[in-house]
């Protein structure tokens, strides 16, 4: 809840700052919007990791004596942390998402359809609801959703890992799931220094800058995750039903999730960006009415899931083959290791969107609205 609150507050402060800077130069507006998004990304991942580490430290002092088998029971209790994150995600993502769409569509209906007003017109009071909805659903909701995923995946890795005989004799190895996120935060921090946009009205370069963020963070995380395993995992890892494994197998599980996440991100961009054929085909289908538009949109929606599902299946298969369910949990954590950058790109969207609304309401001019768009 705290991460969502901080993200929304920063987004509100950054909306009008982005509009103001965009009135001068597009690159300055981009920097403000992206930095605002990265606050949400780093707040969520760092708070989530900090609280989990504190919980483990407190529970260890309370429940662990000389019997290392107590670790299994302890981490089953800590799994409640993931449940708490999921509870907030339910209200934030689902409730916030409904609020977003209801406010957005309602503002469009009363403004553009009924009253023939431009989008985000200052004469349309529902514009404020639209802007608030973007904060609730696309920042707090999206953040709580990813926080739930992060907490559940980490807790799953801890619970499954604690059942292995390997970790009875080296309990510090159970910090490997936490180190994945910790090194991911460092990698994401380094990556944000490359988030620079030059020029004033160059849309492709903005898209390229955000794509580079995803690729560079994944590239830097590859050796970082190996180093995290090198300093924490034992030389031999044992699980019931599989042969003896080494730390490099845990690294491969993380890599499968990490690079699958990158590929899924690029596939999503291809199917949703209006620079590519799928969205252009949907636009062309509108010429013959709503029916063909809906059919084309649904068809592309189903088509866009084939590659992501395939890579998820491959990741699950490889990870389970190498390290059983512990490997699957590591694959999920690898996919979420660069979450700070992914969430920064996510939150950058609604900040820029609301900046456009403020530019329209403040009547700053068409050139400013074009830049925020």
Q: Which neighbouring-strand residues pair with 237?
A: 245
Summarised one tens digit per residue, pLDDT across range 338-354 is 999 988 888 888 999 99
Summarised one tens digit per residue, pLDDT across range 192-234 is 888 776 655 556 678 888 888 899 999 999 999 999 988 888 7
Give the pLDDT of residue 254: 94
Q: Which neighbouring-strand residues pair with 245?
A: 237
Q: Is the pLDDT confidence value at 166 over 80?
A: no
User: Residue range 249-253: average pLDDT?
Assistant: 91
Q: Is the pLDDT confidence value at 311 over 60?
A: yes
Confidence of residue 186 (pLDDT cuts 50, 70, 90): very high
Confidence of residue 4 (pLDDT cuts 50, 70, 90): confident
Share the mean pLDDT of the chain. Answer: 87
Report yes or no: 358 and 23 within 8 Å, Cβ to Cβ: no
Confidence of residue 126 (pLDDT cuts 50, 70, 90): confident
Give the pLDDT of residue 245: 79
Boundaries of domain holding 307: 2-372
Summarised one tens digit per residue, pLDDT across range 33-64 is 999 989 888 988 999 999 999 998 888 888 77
User: Residue range 106-116: average pLDDT?
Assistant: 86
Q: Is the pLDDT confidence value at 165 over 80?
A: no
Residue of 159, 320, 329, 165 whose CA lies nearest to 239: 165
* Structure tokens that stand for 230 in this block: 């090198």
Query: How many residues are recorded in the chain?
Result: 373
Give the pLDDT of residue 91: 84
Percent of the chain's residues with pLDDT above 70: 95
Structural domain count of the chain: 1
Confidence of residue 280 (pLDDT cuts 50, 70, 90): very high
pTM (2 decimals)? 0.87
173 compared with 298, residue with greater pLDDT: 298
Give the pLDDT of residue 66: 62
Give the pLDDT of residue 200: 55
Give the pLDDT of residue 24: 86
């Amino acid at each position: 809840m705290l991460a969502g609150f901080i993200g929304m507050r920063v987004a509100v402060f950054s909306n009008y700052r982005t509009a103001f800077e965009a009135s001068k130069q597009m690159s300055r507006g981009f920097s403000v919007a992206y930095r605002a998004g990265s606050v949400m990304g780093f707040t969520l991942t760092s708070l989530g990791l900090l609280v989990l580490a504190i919980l483990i430290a407190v529970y260890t002092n309370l429940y662990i004596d000389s019997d290392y088998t107590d670790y299994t029971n302890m981490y089953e209790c800590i799994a409640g942390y993931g449940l708490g994150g999921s509870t907030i995600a339910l209200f934030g993502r689902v409730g916030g998402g409904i609020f977003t769409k209801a406010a957005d569509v309602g503002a469009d209906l009363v403004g553009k359809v009924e009253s023939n007003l431009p989008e985000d017109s200052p004469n349309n009071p529902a514009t404020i609801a639209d802007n608030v909805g973007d904060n609730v659903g696309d920042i707090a909701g999206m953040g709580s959703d990813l926080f739930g995923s992060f907490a559940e995946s980490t807790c799953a890795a801890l619970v499954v890992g604690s059942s292995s005989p390997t970790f009875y004799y080296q309990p510090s190895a159970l910090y490997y799931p936490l180190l994945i996120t910790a090194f991911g935060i460092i990698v994401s921090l380094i990556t944000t220094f490359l988030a620079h946009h030059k020029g004033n009205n160059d849309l492709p370069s903005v898209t390229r800058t955000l794509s580079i963020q995803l690729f560079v963070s994944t590239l830097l995380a590859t050796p970082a995750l190996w180093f995290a395993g090198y300093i924490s995992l034992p030389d031999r890892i044992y699980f019931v039903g599989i042969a003896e494994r080494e730390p490099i197998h845990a690294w491969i599980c993380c890599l499968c999730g990490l690079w699958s996440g990158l590929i899924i991100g690029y596939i999503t961009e291809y199917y949703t960006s209006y620079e590519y054929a799928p969205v252009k085909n949907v636009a062309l289908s509108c010429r013959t009415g709503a029916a063909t538009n809906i059919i084309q949109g649904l068809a592309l929606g189903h088509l866009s899931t084939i590659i992501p599902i395939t890579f998820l299946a491959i990741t699950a298969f490889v990870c389970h083959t190498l390290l059983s369910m512990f490997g699957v949990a590591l694959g999920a954590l690898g996919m979420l290791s660069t979450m700070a950058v992914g969430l920064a790109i996510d939150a950058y969207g609604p900040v820029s969107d609301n900046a456009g609304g403020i530019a329209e309401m403040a009547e700053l001019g068409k050139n400013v609205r074009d830049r925020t768009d």
